[in-house]
Amino acid sequence: MRPLTFARHSLLIVLLLALTACSSTPPPPTQPPLAADADAFALAQRLGKGVNLGNMLEAPNEGDWGLRVEAEDFPLIRAAGFAHVRVPIRWSAHAAAEAPYTIDPDFFSRIDWVVDQALANDLAVVLNVHHYDEMYADPTVHDDRFVAIWTQIAERYKDRPAEVLFEFLNEPNGALGAARWNRIFAKTLAAVRATNPTRGIVVGPVEWNSFARLDELELPEDDTHLIVTFHYYLPFEFTHQGAEWAPGSDAWLGRTWSGEGLDASDVDAHFDQAAKWAADHHRPLYLGEFGAYSKADMDSRARWTAYVARAAESRGMAWAYWEFASGFGVYDPAAKAWREPLLKALFPPTP
């Protein structure tokens, strides 16, 4: 070895050692693979802590809302400590309007790539149907198309490992009430189970996946691969202050969240209610979305995020933060840096 090369090597080693010493969180250990027929509790445990790749593939077209899924996202997300990604997808904008409602092959290939990237980076992946707005508005007309979309997704991913999960529909709302949602869910489940008998399937109640509507969800007793989800954004006037899509929300600007008194006891009461439902029905729970929009002050956002994440963890629930790199983002794509107060709220440093 020439002296100069040796000097360079030594410098590199010193730098690497210094970097390792500075980094507060060690890289997460690799997850052991799930058994092919892992039950819902094992699947929920594997999901653990995750993040939503929001505002990417659920835009009318990827990129329309300023973000695309990038290969570099996955190693970054894994290294931060997340164990899965939830991927909101607007399949309805990429499937034919007429039977057999064929999904655009190029779009399907793009989702294949997302699944490949997640798995290659040791991240489990939840694929959902997001923003099927026509279905929320008029479910009677869209039943068949919805089942056909899921039949195609199920066929496509039937040989994928158990780390790939399906979530049938984000936040049923509008004209999609509990009775109709239960019927459509049962029909879709039967279609998907024909090709994916033990696939982890995520399902949530109506009213935007409200914990208060869990009681109305009808699930088949003998299906032990169902994870139940709910979303949490309360108090809405805090988490959605100034949100362009929430009418009147400018009036809420400046609202803070203290993490004490009623602020805290409301969260506790809501999570206790959800946890009681889960215990009574022997189902694992997955908090698939929670977050506070960027217009709230950062201290309040971090307090709320930490409190809600701990509320879920302490009751044995898996969670996915809403979302990675957009208006709620835990990551700042322009600065290419994590928003430390939010990341620390999700993963508190160990003393």
Nearest alpha carbon to residue 87 among 100, 74, 104, 101? 74
> What is the smallest separation between the CB atom of 56 and ligand BGC, expressed in angstroms?
11
Q: Residue 312: which region, alpha, beta or left (left: phi > 0; alpha: psi -120 to 50)?
A: alpha
Catalytic residue chosen out of the listed positions 289, 313, 323, 340:
289
Active site residue 289: yes
> What is the smallest separation between the CB atom of 246 and ligand BGC, expressed in angstroms?
7
With CB under 6 A as the contact rule, the residue among 101, 150, 319, 322 that binds ligand BGC is: 322
| Cα separation values, 281 from 48, 137, 162, 220, Å | 20, 30, 23, 11
Q: 73 or 171: whose CB is closer to ligand BGC?
A: 171
Residue 171 touches ligand BGC, criterion: CB under 6 A: yes
Q: 207 or 289: whose CB is closer to ligand BGC?
A: 289
Q: Which residues contact 80 (CB under 8 A, 6 or more apart)?
A: 25, 338, 343, 347
Which residue, chain included where needed, has tokens 């970054």? Answer: 76
String of contacts with ligand BGC for each residue 76-115, x by CB under 6 A: ----------------------------------------
Residue 330, number of CB atoms within 10 A of its CB? 25
> What is the smallest separation between the CB atom of 262 and ligand BGC, expressed in angstroms?
23
Residue 289 touches ligand BGC, criterion: CB under 6 A: yes
- For residues 195 and 155, the answer to whether their CB atoms sit within 8 Å is yes
> What is the smallest separation between the CB atom of 10 and ligand BGC, expressed in angstroms?
50
Q: 211 or 322: whose CB is closer to ligand BGC?
A: 322
Residue 229 touches ligand BGC, criterion: CB under 6 A: no
> Whole-angstrom Cα distance, residue 313 to residue 281?
19
- For residues 316 and 350, the answer to whether their CB atoms sit within 8 Å is no
> What is the smallest separation between the CB atom of 240 and ligand BGC, expressed in angstroms?
6
Q: Which residues contact 285 (CB under 8 A, 6 or more apart)?
A: 44, 227, 228, 229, 230, 274, 275, 278, 312, 315, 316, 317, 318
| Cα separation values, 254 from 251, 266, 295, Å | 9, 20, 8
String of contacts with ligand BGC for each residue 151-170, x by CB under 6 A: -------------------x
Which residue, chain included where needed, has tokens 């239960």? Answer: 182
| Cα separation values, 199 from 89, 100, 131, 144, 161, Å | 19, 24, 23, 21, 9
Closest-by-Cβ residue to ligand BGC is 171
> What is the smallest separation between the CB atom of 219 and ligand BGC, expressed in angstroms?
22
Q: 163 or 171: whose CB is closer to ligand BGC?
A: 171
Residue 73 touches ligand BGC, criterion: CB under 6 A: no
Q: 146 or 322: whose CB is closer to ligand BGC?
A: 322
Residue 307 touches ligand BGC, criterion: CB under 6 A: no
> Whole-angstrom Cα distance, residue 51 to residue 119?
15
**How would you class 244 by CB atoms within 10 Å of its CB: exposed for 0-12, middle for 13-18, buried for 19 or more?**
exposed
Active site residue 163: no
Instruction: Outline where 48-86 has alpha helix (H).
Output: 73-80
Number of residues that bind ligand BGC (CB under 6 A): 5
String of contacts with ligand BGC for each residue 113-132, x by CB under 6 A: -----------------x--
> Whole-angstrom Cα distance, residue 271 to residue 268?
5
> What is the smallest separation between the CB atom of 287 and ligand BGC, expressed in angstroms?
13
Catalytic residue chosen out of the listed positions 62, 163, 167, 171:
171
Residues marked as catalytic:
171, 289
User: Which residues are at the interface with ligand BGC (CB under 6 A)?
Assistant: 130, 170-171, 289, 322
